[in-house]
Amino acid sequence: MPGWRNGLRVRLKIECPQGRVGSSPTPGTMDTSLIQIGISKENLLHNLQEYQRVYPNIDIAPVVKSNAYGHGLPEVSNILESETIPFLVVNSLSEAVALRKARSKKNILIVGYVRPSDVVSSIPSDTTLAITDIEELRQLSKIIKTPLRVHIKIDTGMHRQGIAESDFNEAIALIKIQPLLTVEGICTHIADADGENPSFTNTQLKNWSDASDFFDRAFSSIRYRHVAATTGFASITAANTNMARLGIGLYGFDVSNNKRMDLKPVLEMRSVVASIRRINAGESVGYNATFTAEHPMVIATIPGGYFEGIDRRLSNTGFVTTKDKTCPIVGRVSMNMIGVDITDAPETAIGDDVILMSRNPDDKNSVESIAKMIGTIPYEVLAHIPEQLPRIIDTT
């Protein structure tokens, strides 16, 4: 991508989750970081609109938790600010606060646990809270001081979060005697939405249908009903729902078995060639001499190691691209750099651009390819990209 490093940006200090400092691009100051994360605005909006097209009767709520799956919470929320969506979905109160400090005006839905005392003291405006446990509701109903919209999360069988069926009557009673609480929605989470055996999902959907009817009879205020995350979109046709939470699909990954959506990966990790050296047969590269040359080679040193999200399991296994050529990683992945065999890319020079993670799903260094190499899932590869790396919104 020629010229990407010449983009203009200015740092916007925000309080990110876990208290780290993030940045958001607006015209102003040249960023000099060697490693940058490019975020395709076009691809992100394409993915959102693809789900809206395929599911026109469902409100699509983008999930931006965990630093927008590694893509950058302020950057992604900035792109989505002009879109018609019911909520931006986050996991924590700190993420909701970060959204407001990033100047997002969208409604926020927090789906993770928040201490009731923190809800009272710190919840931002236009933020809805998912109630994930009966004890949480007991405590909150006693101390709440201002009106709060809530979604009741129902445990339909995953046994991770949610109100159990045995606590339904108590939950309804607690809410009815607390006028400051308004039940705006109900939700659940599907444990095995795309599994080969649908029996467990069918049981969850039956439990959901019964619970949905039960709470509908108790509260006329319910506006949103949501079951599906990205892998569960097929379930929404079999459930009483009108909203879905779009997570990994928003970022261009169809993790369903039948790959039914036309999605485009959003993220690209970029670096530069920092050093080039020739080695002879019998010489080694990197820590512990895990790679030994069998013939004369040309080795480039590239900024970017396991601190920057390049998994150590890619040692002697992974790939990068430079000059439109795929080059293997040789030697151990270090904390902040890798060695790359550029023998077959002789035109490579110091300062040239290098793609560490590619948007092209067919590339050997795409996020999906990397996940398969190291035996994990794209979610983990993306979530391990540190927040402090600058994100650049690519508009072309």
Task: Specify the pLDDT at position 9.
Answer: 41
**pLDDT surpassing 90 at residue 273:** yes
Residue 284 CB neighbour total at 10 angstroms: 15
Q: Is 69 designated active site?
A: no
C-alpha 213/C-alpha 186 separation (Å) is 11
**pLDDT surpassing 70 at residue 20:** no
**pLDDT surpassing 70 at residue 13:** no
Share of the chain above pLDDT 70, in %: 91
Which of 20, 1, 15 minimizes the C-alpha distance to 389?
A: 20
Which of 163, 141, 148, 82 minimizes the C-alpha distance to 110?
A: 148
Q: Any idea which residue has 């909520």 for tokens?
A: 87
**pLDDT surpassing 90 at residue 291:** yes
3-state secondary structure at position 337: strand
CATH code linked to domain 267-394: 2.40.37.10
**pLDDT surpassing 70 at residue 325:** yes
207 sits in which H/E element:
helix 199-218
DSSP letters spanning 222-246: --EEE---GGGGGGGGGSS-SEEEE
Strand partners, 153: 187
The CATH number fitting domain 41-251, selected from 3.20.20.10, 2.60.40.4070, 3.40.30.10, 3.90.1150.10: 3.20.20.10
The conformation of residue 248, written as its DSSP 8-state character, comes to G
3-state secondary structure at position 199: helix
Catalytic residue of the set 51, 65, 153, 264: 65
Q: Is 51 designated active site?
A: no
Task: Specify the pLDDT at position 26.
Answer: 47
Report domain extents, the chain.
Answer: 41-251, 267-394
Catalytic residue of the set 13, 105, 176, 287: 287
